[in-house]
Amino acid sequence: MSQLLSRRSVLSSLPGALLAGMLPGCAGAPKPVNSPSAPGGLRLGASSPFPADFAWGVATAAYQIEGAASEDGRGPSIWDKFSKQPGATFEGQTGDVACDHYHRYREDVELMRTLGARAYRFSISWSRVLPEGRGQVNEKGLDFYSRLVDELAHAGITPYATLFHWDYPSALFDKGGWLERDTADWFAEYASIVVKRLGDRVTRWMTLNEPNVVITLGHVRGIHAPGLKLPPEKAIVAAHHFMRAHGKAVQAIRAAARPATHPEVGVAFAFAGYYPATSSKEDLAAAEEHTFVSGERALFSPAWWLDPMLRGSYPADGLSRWGKALPENFERDLDEIHQPQEFLGLNVYWSDPVRRGADGRPEELKRPPGYPRAANDWQPITPQALYYAPRFAHGRYQLPIYIMENGLSVRDQLFLDGSIHDPQRVDYLQRALMRLADALRDGVPVRGYFHWSLLDNFEWSDGFKQRFGLVYVDFTSQKRVPKDSFAFYRDVIQSNGARALAPTTVAADVVSP
């Protein structure tokens, strides 16, 4: 079942209670809108607003690229187990070998050096470091990350490390996983071990990647590991523990890091916000308001997760719907969850149009038939998300923003001339960066952009079917071939963004706003 269900169809297939009030209210065709500072149509020679120290980067995650699943003492994670269940992933594919990055990391760092990447976001496999999730440390596992970090230093690339990118240790899942309150302490212990070993060279840390996706797809819909189909009331408890794990890990990172290294800590959140259907002030306000509604869709919504972490309280609308499901005395945990962070990481792939409805409430709109989409179907082509997500997130949380993931799945193939031509990705990347530039021009402090992904990789329940890389990977030979988008992004980085804003005729209306 699972691989046929697109992961982003999540919102339309949640259980009844979560679904109510979430479907598009109307099929009215929205008028094209342009971002406030950048009218569509012809753009000529816009100047680059990207700061000189902008973190131009690429992103990956451990289980999706490393392989070496049972080598050098690594313990199993829930993804090792889940991907081996019949029907769980596309064609039964697993991350056992993936991109074999564990053995080829030097080659991959060299690719990044050629790209001119200034920063690399990768994740650490918890069960490679602690095969049982806690207790005995696997030094060989830590050594791998230490070698990787040294290699990055040689190449002049700044490491941005994520401590948890979905591969929860199986041994701890057997002890209750995110439903168990102690999971927060287990995670903080692990964070401390990693930071003690790598913190002399790694100073940018993310606690969690997309906890809202883990809970929604892995604990409610069962299409991601661990494959649970919990009632939403239980998932609310698991989400609360996730937030406590975040808070405790932030404290553990700061305690384990040497203060002189000035560690910066944040979270990477799947930020699926909304954009205004027209350029009217009313629609802009409706889109912003709707982005932070939690209520019925609490488990996926930014406010449900980020308000406790960054403002110290659950949002009122979500609380009135789900308050009874929260653990007793949950208020006592809020100080622990609410920790100072240096930045907010957003993973931005798409967003939906909203206008101010006739009844004064925000109203979601359907897209016109034939609206362009990525190869994975869940991602409509909406580069304007790169303007509105950082703008709205910064407006509410007042933190510097990083785009920690953004990219496009394309049906890439090797052409007769030996190259991988991926004009869709090049076009998308340019449009996305133009919108991000608009956000910077409008004063949003965006500190970096990480393209998902460096390499084609194991895309969770879609296996190797979805290709997101700037580098094509032949999964039989493990040969890497940089795509046309690699060369484009290299030029973008070299020109500090100017290449993406170079004189171009933009058919803004092709993808509406």
Strands (E) across 243-356 are located at: 264-270, 274-276, 344-347, 352-356
Distances (CA, A) of 195 to 154, 160, 190, 198: 20, 12, 9, 5
Of the candidate spans 33-41, 195-203, 206-214, 491-499, the one that interacts with ligand BGP by CB under 6 A turns out to be 206-214
Residue 406 found at the interface with ligand BGP (CB under 6 A): no
* The binder of ligand BGP chosen from 184, 213, 230, 432 (CB under 6 A): 213
Residue 305 found at the interface with ligand BGP (CB under 6 A): no
Per DSSP, the three-state class of 232 is helix
CB of 423 to ligand BGP, least distance (A): 20
Cα–Cα dist 417/113, whole Å: 25
* The binder of ligand BGP chosen from 62, 271, 462, 506 (CB under 6 A): 462
Residue 376 found at the interface with ligand BGP (CB under 6 A): yes
For ligand BGP, give the closer residue by CB, 64 or 138: 64
Residue 466 found at the interface with ligand BGP (CB under 6 A): yes
Please spell the DSSP secondary structure of 56-108, one letter per residue: EEEE--HHHH---TTSTTPPPBHHHHHTTSTTSSGGG--SSSTT-HHHHHHHH
Of the candidate spans 45-53, 181-189, 243-251, 452-460, the one that interacts with ligand BGP by CB under 6 A turns out to be 452-460
Distances (CA, A) of 214 to 19, 208, 211, 222: 18, 10, 5, 10
Residue 351 found at the interface with ligand BGP (CB under 6 A): no
CB of 389 to ligand BGP, least distance (A): 14
Cα–Cα dist 119/439, whole Å: 21
* Residue 328 is a catalytic residue: no
Which residue out of 296, 364, 405, 459 is catalytically annotated? 405
* The binder of ligand BGP chosen from 108, 210, 363, 422 (CB under 6 A): 210
Residue 456 found at the interface with ligand BGP (CB under 6 A): no
Cα–Cα dist 365/506, whole Å: 24
CB neighbour burial string for 71-106, b if at least 16 within 10 angstroms, e if fewer: eeebbbbbbbbbbeeeebbbeebbbebbbbbbebbe
For ligand BGP, give the closer residue by CB, 186 or 271: 271
Contact 223, 233 (CB under 8 A): no
Position of tokens 């005395």? 329
* Residue 71 is a catalytic residue: no
CB of 290 to ligand BGP, least distance (A): 21
Residue nearest to ligand BGP (CB): 459
* The binder of ligand BGP chosen from 61, 69, 287, 348 (CB under 6 A): 61
Name the residues annotated as catalytic: 210, 405
Residues of this chain that bind ligand BGP (CB under 6 A)? 7, 61, 64, 209-210, 213, 270, 347, 376, 405, 409, 452, 459-460, 462, 466, 468
